[in-house]
């Protein structure tokens, strides 16, 4: 009986459309996270490729708040996380702007806020990995960089969602 009611009201697609119309902000947050996966995929691919190419650049790197020991990838680890982050944020801006927010905002009018937002999130995302790696590596070995990247992604959502929703894509 319940199944026939769903089919009569447009099936699964109808239920999704109703949810979207009844809860537009929740729907947008869901879409933000789903389409952030395009940036996430970009992030992981660039991270893994960079780590492979830069693995011999493992001399300790310490500058400002960034401290990457040889065990945490050193200079190569720092550069790999930085490259992965920048590539992901470039992809993310365009995907979120067009697909999720349907925004036609002129890039020149919001680029300052976007760069500021991703810079703050980026500083955290490049500063945090060596600490996550040092805690997780004894337990998960080579997967520590991947776990550090997952932590970064969560931090980025917490920072990026409200800024994109209420400031940048308005």
Contact assessment for residue 77 and residue 63, using Cβ atoms and an 8 Å cutoff = no
User: Which of 67, 99, 82 is closest to 149 using CA atoms?
Assistant: 82
Contact assessment for residue 43 and residue 87, using Cβ atoms and an 8 Å cutoff = yes
Contact assessment for residue 85 and residue 148, using Cβ atoms and an 8 Å cutoff = no
Cα 38 from Cα 76, distance rounded (Å): 24
Each residue of 47-64: pLDDT tens digit? Answer: 999 999 998 998 999 998
Phi then psi for 45, rounded to 5 degrees? Answer: -60, -45
Mean pLDDT across the chain: 88
Q: What percent of the chain has pLDDT over 90?
A: 55
Average pLDDT of the residues in 110-128: 89
Q: What percent of the chain has pLDDT over 70?
A: 95
Task: Give me the DSSP letters along 34-67.
Answer: HHHHHHHHHHHHHHHHHHHHHTT--S-EEETTEE
């Amino acid at each position: 009986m319940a199944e026939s009611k769903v089919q009569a009201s447009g099936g699964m697609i109808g239920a999704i459309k109703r949810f979207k119309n009844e809860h537009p902000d929740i729907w947008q947050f869901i879409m933000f996270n789903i389409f952030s996966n395009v940036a996430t995929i970009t992030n992981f691919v660039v991270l893994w490729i960079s780590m492979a190419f830069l693995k011999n650049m493992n001399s300790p790197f310490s500058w400002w708040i960034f401290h990457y020991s040889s065990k945490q990838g050193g200079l190569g680890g720092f550069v790999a996380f930085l490259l992965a982050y920048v590539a992901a944020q470039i992809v993310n801006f365009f995907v979120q702007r067009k697909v999720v927010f349907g925004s036609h905002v002129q890039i020149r009018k919001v680029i300052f806020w976007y760069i500021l937002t991703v810079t703050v999130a980026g500083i955290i995302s490049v500063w945090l990995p060596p600490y996550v790696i040092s805690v997780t590596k004894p337990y998960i070995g080579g997967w520590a960089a991947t776990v550090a990247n997952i932590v970064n992604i969560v931090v980025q959502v917490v920072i990026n969602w409200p800024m994109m929703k209420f400031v940048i894509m308005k």
